[in-house]
Chain A
Amino acid sequence: MTEPTTSSELRPVEDQSFATWVKVNLFSPWYNSVLTVVGAVMVILLLKVAIPFLLTAQWAAVTTNIQILLVGQYPSEELWRVGAGVLPMPFIVGAAWGVWGSMMRTFSVILIVASVLTVISSFFGDSMTPGFVLWFAVSPVLVLLGYTVGRRSFIGPRHVLIGWFLFLMLTLFLLRGFGEDSAMPYVSTSRWGGLLVTILIAQVGIAIVLPLGIVLALARQSNLWFFKAAALVYIEILRATPLLALLFLMLIVSPMFLPDITTPDRLMLAFIAIVMNNSAYMAENIRGGLQSVSKGQIEAAEALGMRGRHVTLFIILPQAIRATIPAIVGQFIILFKDTAVIALVGLLDLLGAAYAIILGQDAWRTADLEVFLFVAAVYWIFTYGMSSVSAGVEKRMRAGAD
């Protein structure tokens, strides 16, 4: 590994004492001194509030309600299905880490650390169910197992993607169950909730939004006026409507137009609203990429005798998608965070569960800060993990690797 010599290495060695460092970095021009003082005061004020809070925090509000926060109202006796259904996820993350390397490392490490911390914290209070502790104890092992599998040369990115998709289908199947009398009775989606729903909506949403966005972007570029107009109307209407308005329309207004005997699947309606909204944005992201592909590329392909759809599939799309990967991952992060909005229409996702605990359970009405901090931490773990993946992808692209 040869790094180009930079000018900094040629500078004379400076006095490295602490006092000099402080003087240079914190107080050198006068305005930096002001900023340092203001910053220090703010940190002290924050600690003054944070330390007493942390000493008296009622974390039991989170630990006793960990079931609602993680799986919502899923029946207690069927929880093994959630555990089993979600287990492939750490494995897939590990496999992705093995295949893609450094790009997925941060995400995997964060997952391992979070799981280990959860297990450790369970020793300080006995309020967490052994099943959950067991799951968090097993998942880091699965990440590492997935990593060793992913390192094998015969496992490629394609296998990981197909595996992810198949496991996702399996998870949904396990969660949903079959008839009333079977070993795995049917569990209506109205009982799914918590982090489970947040993650499922995000994953299935990502699996649908990206292809849908590509199709919409291509339709908008199409020469056929019908497709062009349809895509234009779809994108412009959905981009101009707030997600919350769309959710209200789907969950509260749309049942009026359904026959009375049917009870609409509210989770599915919310999911459709999120997918519709995000696919419109995704289409615009990808259209940006499509336009960045130079006309010369298309002309060259045509000159080689490639047919229209082949030009699109093999020449334009790969370049367009590569150019928009940061925007695409950004949209995935937005989709993940958008799921929190469904709490406002009464669904019990991670945030909805937090509201249900603070407002509904009389014992924890003063523990709002603890519960919201937990929720914020969980969101941070996933969004930071995703943005670290995005940063990794950009780094690879810049290095020219593929």
Chain B
Amino acid sequence: MTKRLFLLLSALFVLIAIVGCSNNNDELQAEIDDLNTQLTQAKAAASSGSSSGPSQAELDSVKAELEKAKEDLANAGSSSSVAAGDDATQPSGWGSRLKLVKDRGKLICAATNDSPGFSFINETGEWTGYGIEMCKAYATAIFGDHENRFEMQAIGWADRPTVMQAGKIDVMVLANTQNARREATWGNFTTIHHYAGMGIMSRLDSGIIADDWMSLDGTSVCVTAGTNYVPAAEDLKGQYGIDFETVQLADTGPAYDEGRCDFTIGGKTDLGRNQIDLTDPDAHVVWNSLMGKDPWGMLVGHGDDQWYDLIRFVEWAMINAEELDVTMDNVDDMVANSENARILRMLGVEGEYGQEVLGLDIDFAYNVIKKIGNFDELVERFYSINDETRVGGFYRPRGNDALWNEGGLLFAPGLE
């Protein structure tokens, strides 16, 4: 009895294994066989010289189809352990991501929920922040509206490379620092929207002069243990030929506040925020000079140039709108009354600058500005100096993020 049961079960197991391992390549094989017969029939017809036979062009098209089907079969075979090869589910090359997003009916953005102002969850459990608004902007550009058209996926900071590799998400809206290795291995960074950097905050009574690197000689620094600020502090010593004491701590805030050290290193954005929490904020200064570059951009996967351009078009439109003073409130008026050709072209009233090649609506920029606003409006929503109008977030001066023609680094190609 038990032996028979065992045999039955093992047979079942083997059967499941066979079914599980085999692919649905049979369909493709059948298609190839079908095309082969068509081809031989066509050849036979051609050689018999019958006038009703297919033309050379028809023959060629059948041949091409056959080649394509063979290729599909080969692809399906090589990637059998990953996914059944099918164009709809295999995002590779131009246009595949947009097709995937449109089929899904939703844009999926990945973000962390721990960045104040950038991506966080408000009291009612809604995703909020600059990054989330950008995700809405992309969705608006693609679908005309963002209502029920985007979905946020929470990830951790350490998951970024794997999440990008898995390719389940469409855009990563994170405070991602761009650098060469990430550009090569993670994906394409889109327009840099925040030029952050590693900065210094020092005590006014310590004898350190703001923005004077040599004045750091003989002082002491508080750095968070295990971060890249530790090697950065060492680099500083070599770079300027100075020496100071490095105090590594798990939490530098209280130690610096109590006067354990003369200066501290951190992201410049964070330093400004930490300064407010100190016992006497006026006794400290955040340097204008930066120790290192920290450009932030959104991320899209490698391999689909159309998608990369589409995302950048949305960002360019918002930056250009700021440059041209087109806002959420006056955009309708601009469409109706503006005589500026650059504005009319941007909003899709006249002319075209490649929207259709990228699969965007001709007036995508109008939709984005109408629903989300221009770059400045968006930044002001989360980083304004005005506590009343700010939705979460904190005050962050535009600084380097000002427009290129206003002394900043923010630059976008013209939409023309």
> A172 contacts the other chain (Cβ, under 8 Å)?
no
| Residues on the B chain within 8 Å of A226, using CB | 6, 9-10, 13
One of A346, A360, A366 near B120 (C-beta < 8 A): A360
A249 to chain B, nearest CB (A): 11
Q: How many residues of A sit at the interface, in one of the four size bands?
A: 35 or more
Question: Which A49-84 residues have a C-beta within 8 angstroms of B?
Answer: 64-65, 67-68, 71-76
| Residues on the B chain within 8 Å of A166, using CB | none
> B2 contacts the other chain (Cβ, under 8 Å)?
yes
One of B113, B124, B163, B277 near A252 (C-beta < 8 A): B163
B116 and A260: CB pair below 8 A?
A: no
A252 and B89: CB pair below 8 A?
A: no
| Residues on the A chain within 8 Å of B273, using CB | 362
B117 and A346: CB pair below 8 A?
A: no
> A356 contacts the other chain (Cβ, under 8 Å)?
yes
Q: How far is the CA of A255 from the CA of B154 in the complex (A)?
A: 15
Please choose the segment from B164-172, B327-335, B345-353 that sits at the chain A interface, where 4 or more of its residues have CB less than 8 A away.
Answer: B164-172
Q: How far is the CA of A346 from the CA of B127 in the complex (A)?
A: 14
| Residues on the A chain within 8 Å of B151, using CB | 188, 190, 263
Q: How far is the CA of A206 from the CA of B125 in the complex (A)?
A: 28
> B95 contacts the other chain (Cβ, under 8 Å)?
no
B117 and A362: CB pair below 8 A?
A: yes
A263 and B108: CB pair below 8 A?
A: yes
Q: How far is the CA of A361 from the CA of B159 in the complex (A)?
A: 22
| Residues on the A chain within 8 Å of B84, using CB | 259
B115 and A261: CB pair below 8 A?
A: no
| Residues on the A chain within 8 Å of B153, using CB | 190, 266, 346
Q: How far is the CA of A252 from the CA of B121 in the complex (A)?
A: 22
Q: How far is the CA of A76 from the CA of B114 in the complex (A)?
A: 21
Q: How far is the CA of A73 from the CA of B121 in the complex (A)?
A: 8
B116 and A258: CB pair below 8 A?
A: no
| Residues on the B chain within 8 Å of A366, using CB | 277
Question: Which B97-123 residues have a C-beta within 8 angstroms of A?
Answer: 100, 103-104, 108, 112-117, 119-123
| Residues on the B chain within 8 Å of A224, using CB | 2, 5-6
B156 and A76: CB pair below 8 A?
A: no
A256 and B165: CB pair below 8 A?
A: yes
> B30 contacts the other chain (Cβ, under 8 Å)?
no
> B90 contacts the other chain (Cβ, under 8 Å)?
yes
> A373 contacts the other chain (Cβ, under 8 Å)?
no
A260 and B121: CB pair below 8 A?
A: no
Q: How far is the CA of A297 from the CA of B102 in the complex (A)?
A: 65
Chain A residue at minimum C-beta to C-beta distance from B6:
A224
| Residues on the A chain within 8 Å of B394, using CB | 362
Question: Which A358-375 residues have a C-beta within 8 angstroms of B?
Answer: 359-363, 365-366
B62 to chain A, nearest CB (A): 30
One of A191, A257, A352, A361 near B82 (C-beta < 8 A): A257
A170 to chain B, nearest CB (A): 23
B125 and A359: CB pair below 8 A?
A: no
> A264 contacts the other chain (Cβ, under 8 Å)?
yes
> A209 contacts the other chain (Cβ, under 8 Å)?
no
A257 and B114: CB pair below 8 A?
A: no
B114 and A360: CB pair below 8 A?
A: yes
A67 and B166: CB pair below 8 A?
A: no
Q: How many residues of B sit at the interface, in one of the four size bands?
A: 35 or more
B113 and A348: CB pair below 8 A?
A: yes
A361 and B122: CB pair below 8 A?
A: yes
| Residues on the B chain within 8 Å of A360, using CB | 113-116, 119-121
> A344 contacts the other chain (Cβ, under 8 Å)?
yes
A356 and B124: CB pair below 8 A?
A: no
Question: Which A185-214 residues have a C-beta within 8 angstroms of B?
Answer: 188, 190-191, 193
B158 to chain A, nearest CB (A): 9
Chain A 90-109 near chain B by CB (<8 Å), digits 1 or 0:
00000000000000000000
One of A68, A223, A252 near B159 (C-beta < 8 A): A252
B168 and A263: CB pair below 8 A?
A: yes
> A268 contacts the other chain (Cβ, under 8 Å)?
no
One of A64, A71, A344, A357 near B156 (C-beta < 8 A): A344
Chain B residue at minimum C-beta to C-beta distance from A366:
B277
A255 and B168: CB pair below 8 A?
A: yes
| Residues on the B chain within 8 Å of A72, using CB | 125
Chain B residue at minimum C-beta to C-beta distance from A365:
B116
- Contact of A362 with B116 at beta-carbon distance under 8 Å, contacts A255-B166, A256-B165, A346-B156 already known: yes
> B44 contacts the other chain (Cβ, under 8 Å)?
no
> B126 contacts the other chain (Cβ, under 8 Å)?
yes
A193 and B159: CB pair below 8 A?
A: no
> A345 contacts the other chain (Cβ, under 8 Å)?
yes
| Residues on the B chain within 8 Å of A193, using CB | 125
B89 and A73: CB pair below 8 A?
A: no
> B297 contacts the other chain (Cβ, under 8 Å)?
no
B91 and A260: CB pair below 8 A?
A: yes
| Residues on the A chain within 8 Å of B2, using CB | 223-224
B381 to chain A, nearest CB (A): 13
Q: How far is the CA of A347 from the CA of B113 in the complex (A)?
A: 10
> B162 contacts the other chain (Cβ, under 8 Å)?
yes
| Residues on the B chain within 8 Å of A223, using CB | 2
> A300 contacts the other chain (Cβ, under 8 Å)?
no
One of B6, B116, B154 near A361 (C-beta < 8 A): B116
- Contact of A356 with B120 at beta-carbon distance under 8 Å, contacts A74-B125, A223-B2, A257-B82 already known: yes
> A355 contacts the other chain (Cβ, under 8 Å)?
yes
> A253 contacts the other chain (Cβ, under 8 Å)?
yes
B107 to chain A, nearest CB (A): 12
> B357 contacts the other chain (Cβ, under 8 Å)?
no
> B392 contacts the other chain (Cβ, under 8 Å)?
yes
| Residues on the B chain within 8 Å of A75, using CB | 125
One of B6, B89, B127 near A260 (C-beta < 8 A): B89
A361 and B156: CB pair below 8 A?
A: no
Q: How far is the CA of A359 from the CA of B120 in the complex (A)?
A: 8
| Residues on the B chain within 8 Å of A260, using CB | 83, 89-91, 100, 167-168
| Residues on the A chain within 8 Å of B13, using CB | 226
> B88 contacts the other chain (Cβ, under 8 Å)?
yes
> B373 contacts the other chain (Cβ, under 8 Å)?
no
Q: How far is the CA of A353 from the CA of B114 in the complex (A)?
A: 10
One of A73, A264, A346, A356 near B168 (C-beta < 8 A): A264
> B232 contacts the other chain (Cβ, under 8 Å)?
no
Chain B 8-49 near chain A by CB (<8 Å), digits 1 or 0:
011001000000000000000000000000000000000000
B235 to chain A, nearest CB (A): 28
| Residues on the B chain within 8 Å of A345, using CB | 156, 159
> B64 contacts the other chain (Cβ, under 8 Å)?
no
A68 and B89: CB pair below 8 A?
A: no
> B393 contacts the other chain (Cβ, under 8 Å)?
yes
Given contact pairs A226-B9, A347-B154, A348-B113, enumerate 4 new A-B contacts (beta carbons under 8 Å).
A190-B154, A256-B165, A256-B167, A365-B277
Q: List 25 A-B contacts (CB under 8 A).
A: A67-B123, A67-B125, A68-B121, A73-B126, A73-B127, A76-B125, A193-B125, A226-B10, A256-B166, A256-B167, A260-B89, A261-B103, A263-B108, A344-B156, A346-B112, A346-B154, A346-B156, A352-B113, A357-B121, A359-B113, A360-B115, A361-B121, A362-B392, A365-B277, A366-B277
Q: Closest 9 CB pairs between A and B?
A: A360-B120, A359-B114, A362-B116, A346-B154, A73-B125, A356-B113, A259-B83, A256-B166, A259-B89
